[in-house]
Chain A
């Protein structure tokens, strides 16, 4: 149960607003509230924000007012519970040792810290439903690489700053690679194609 009262509403192009919340899980609660009250035409989550588009004939100011009223009157909202996924990982990533050095611990300690946490899917994005996960232990908070790799293999399990994630396909990327999984996180023949949805819980285990 989290409160969603505190929001910042910013114009975002001719037909939408960005609603920023003080905490990411509140963004998901707020999106649930707005959907339930039919405020806005569509709702899309960022790390700690919601993109809300206007309904036909509605102004950005009217939409902003409606969001403010909904946020103020929803004292507490239980975010919908998601599914739990356990992802087997081979911890042989190219940056495992660098992360250990930056964190002042051993490679094995990085693995045990990474597998001890339960992560929450904050939002999906980038390409092919990349899952942005919150819940990374602060001991492993390492800023993203100063230069991105041109190619990160599909299934790479990675971290950057306070985020964790899994690369759904081979793509460029600037996160630190801890290991890899063979779990299919995106299947274009499914709808939705991504394995994860916002609010789902994720744990990693050593393969």
Chain B
């Protein structure tokens, strides 16, 4: 390998992720791919990659790597904590772009430390990070343990040639910060009608549990709302990222990109993609509200 990064510290969990395996569920394989797809796509755009290039998804910082070649990088997603040789990225303005671009020379140290806001940072490199694709994707599936394994120290991450598939011209999507107080939009699911009071689900404030990962994000009801569940052990139905399951214990689970492709709990609502991007950046202990989509 002559182009790439040598990992010094991988942090809590650093994974290669691309667009995932959108047809995986047809053969019983999770979709996977970047949890905050919008941020991963923005990072690829900034370095001139095609949309299918793999990024490094860094959970809660703690990531350090040394360039073994000249590299053009972008870091998006979780906000803050990015530095090169100890120099932090200069914020031109707190109200605009949160993307960081970096030009590394061999030996330069890139650090993605614990962010001030959000959970997952996305590092894109011009050319895309390279690894052996599995079932058409360089994404690691944490449930099925498919694809390139989680990064470890001393791991060398090679750089590919994903810029060959970049569009000749494109607009850079604006990276306005997400409105954190906005409710997430719920679409009706197959078991929405089993909720005793549909309005209640949207009226309550929910808290993200510590059991939150790429497979699913568990929610806790607020103190004034006792958990109300629905019977489980249903005939397994197809499920997908964004489905909100309500198990008998009354703690809803929002399915993430690595969720299994079938489930036996009631699905009481479904989030659309933009809200999944936001969920990917919501930390345990933070609050979420919902509103039902207009029908």
Chain A interface (Cβ < 8 Å from any Cβ of B): 10-14, 18, 20, 24, 42, 44-51, 123-130, 132, 143-144, 161, 169, 171, 188, 191-194
Contact = CB atoms under 8 A, between A and B. Distances in A.
Contacts of B262: 46-47, 123-126, 130, 132
A18 B238 contact: yes
B28 A126 contact: yes
A124 B189 contact: no
A127 B143 contact: yes
Contact of B236 (A14, A123, A169): A123
A13 B242 contact: yes
Which of A42, A124, A161, A169 counts the most chain B CB atoms within 10 A? Answer: A124
Contacts of B235: 24, 46-49
A186 B243 CA distance: 26
B28 A188 contact: no
Contacts of A18: 190, 237-238
Interface string B229-258: 000010111101011000000000000000
A161 B189 contact: no
A128 B146 contact: yes
A135 to B, nearest CB: 15
Contacts of B145: 169
Contacts of B238: 18, 44-46, 49-51, 123, 125
A129 B270 contact: no
B243 A129 contact: no
B188 interface: yes
B189 A127 contact: no
A108 B250 CA distance: 41
Given A11-B188, A130-B28, A125 B135 contact: no
B260 A127 contact: yes
B98 to A, nearest CB: 27
Contacts of A45: 238
B39 interface: no
B146 A51 contact: no
